[in-house]
Amino acid sequence: MSRMEDNGPVYFNGDFGTGNAIKRWVTEESIENESALYQRIFSGDSVIRFPSEAKIRNAYEALAAGGQILKPITETSVGGFIAAVKDRNGIEWNLQYDKG
């Protein structure tokens, strides 16, 4: 993706045009003790990238209200945040914020 503007979230799905089922790995945790956790993004997955920590946290709380938390909001090793929720309509969302 190109540089994200600071005026709002960016929505995309997991189809990055590579022809592979697994399109992207998103780091969730630091790699302390030689372990790392990742979240797979598959073709068709709904992903929202946010321009700030405050916006991802607000969306996380709003989407989780009446829904289900699939992956709690977690700070990544590079200082961003990632989460996954299923909203009250059963739609799953991957949320992402990358600093810098």
- Two tokens, residue 24: 């992207």
At 24, give phi and psi (nearest 5°). -160, 145
- Per-residue pLDDT averaged across 34-40, rounded? 44
- pLDDT tens for 45-72 read 678 888 999 999 999 999 999 999 999 9
Four-way CATH pick for 10-97: 3.90.220.20, 3.50.50.60, 3.40.50.620, 3.30.720.110 = 3.30.720.110
Q: Give CA–CA dist 16/53, Å, rounded.
A: 25
The pLDDT value recorded for residue 27 is 35
